[in-house]
């Protein structure tokens, strides 16, 4: 590990100093935090963390090493990583090799308390203060765009369609706004032939499949007007399941509203109420935007933290969605059966 003295600077001027353990350099992004105790490699490679600086609340991160099988995409998407303690040389080396600025010995509790009180903020993580002094960094932070209004899907989505799994009892199209590999693996394991499409895919092409999964992805859903228009054209023509950003886009396509959460829902311990049964699920989540609370009958799941809509079930349209991640990578398995049950329903 290197021993350079670095820092995190928030747009409100708060400075948190730490030790550089990853790549050298400077990383601008939105500072957010996750409460997950495991899954650090999955987190950093999740496309939903595009343009974000991730603060881990776990006391030690990296203590069980790294493995290529845990990557959720082909590259890291988090701009920087903040830790109280880096628990292993393999993790530090992995971050450094992938040009990720990483700081440990950060007072992560203080960072999280500030973000909870004042909301997610634009920030910079600097590996060596000599490269960019604090006084010079603040103006650069405030010149960065805010997350509101940023449609980041184009930065992470494929430009062309490809086949992930050729054989299966049903044929599923996955619209890739920034999907995680674990979703693809779960669909294949459930018995689906899976073709991945870019967000620009036409609704007429999607309607030919037994089912369409609207995947997760980063950024603000509201600027994605073309994607919402295609979902509007698709609804009622085949079965639809939305996850995370896909849930938000389904909400916009059906007349609901989205908004930016103060500090987001990120972690593997978020309680969600299943309205039909009264059951509470402990879920894995990663999003900074949400569907506004509503009493509409189609709102099938709600957050027990803030009442935001955590799922839809449009019986007349054969469309449903969840804000949380049923693939649970990382996370608890309360919602694990959702993907398999959907695929099984397509085969009936």
First CA to last CA across the chain, in angstroms?
A: 55
Active-site residue identified among 77, 270, 287, 325: 325
Q: Give the three-class secondary structure for 3.
A: coil
244 belongs to the catalytic site? yes
Measured between alpha carbons, how far is 199 from 246 in angstroms, rounded to an integer?
A: 11
Active-site residue identified among 51, 72, 227, 327: 327
Measured between alpha carbons, how far is 97 from 87 in angstroms, rounded to an integer?
A: 17
Q: Cα-flanking dihedrals φ and ψ of residue 335, to 5°?
A: -100, 10
Place of tokens 């009958």: 297
Q: Give the three-class secondary structure for 194.
A: strand
Active-site residue identified among 244, 270, 298, 310: 244
| DSSP E strand stretches across 113-181 | 121-126, 162-165, 170-175
Other beta carbons less than 10 A from residue 237's beta carbon: 16
164 belongs to the catalytic site? no
Measured between alpha carbons, how far is 78 from 44 in angstroms, rounded to an integer?
A: 5
Task: Locate 82 and state its tokens.
Answer: 């903040």
| Cross-strand partners of 171 | 193
327 belongs to the catalytic site? yes
User: What is the set of active-site residues?
Assistant: 244, 325, 327
């Amino acid at each position: 590990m290197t021993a350079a003295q670095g820092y995190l600077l928030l747009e409100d001027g708060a400075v948190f100093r730490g030790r550089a353990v990853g790549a050298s350099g400077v990383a601008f992004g939105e500072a957010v935090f996750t409460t997950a105790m495991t899954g650090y490699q999955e987190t950093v490679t999740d496309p939903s963390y595009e343009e974000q600086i991730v603060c881990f609340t776990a006391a030690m991160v990296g203590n069980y090493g790294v493995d290529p099988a845990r990557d959720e995409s082909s590259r890291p998407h988090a701009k920087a990583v903040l830790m109280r303690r880096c628990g292993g040389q393999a993790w530090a080396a992995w971050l450094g090799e992938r040009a990720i600025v990483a700081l440990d010995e950060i007072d992560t509790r203080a960072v999280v308390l500030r973000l909870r009180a004042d909301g997610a903020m634009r920030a910079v993580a600097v590996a060596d203060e000599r490269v960019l002094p604090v006084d010079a960094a603040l103006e650069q932070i405030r010149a960065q765009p805010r997350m509101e209004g940023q449609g980041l899907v184009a930065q992470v989505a494929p430009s062309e369609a490809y086949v992930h799994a050729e054989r299966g009892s049903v044929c599923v199209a996955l619209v890739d706004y920034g999907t995680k590999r674990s979703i693809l693996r779960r669909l294949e394991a459930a018995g689906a032939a899976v073709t991945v499409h870019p967000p620009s895919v036409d609704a007429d092409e999607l309607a030919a499949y037994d089912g369409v999964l609207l995947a997760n992805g980063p950024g603000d859903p509201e600027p994605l007007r073309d994607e919402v228009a295609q979902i509007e054209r698709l609804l009622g023509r085949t079965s639809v399941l939305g996850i995370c950003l896909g849930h938000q886009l389904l909400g916009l396509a059906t007349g609901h509203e989205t908004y930016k959460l103060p500090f987001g829902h990120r972690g593997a311990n978020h309680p969600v109420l299943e309205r039909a049964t009264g059951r509470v699920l402990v879920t894995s989540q990663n999003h900074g935007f949400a569907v506004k609370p509503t009493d509409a009958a189609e709102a099938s799941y709600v957050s027990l933290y803030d009442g935001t809509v955590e799922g839809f079930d449009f019986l007349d349209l054969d469309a449903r969605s969840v804000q949380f991640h049923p693939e649970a990578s990382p996370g608890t398995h309360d919602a694990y059966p959702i993907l398999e049950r959907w695929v099984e329903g397509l085969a009936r």
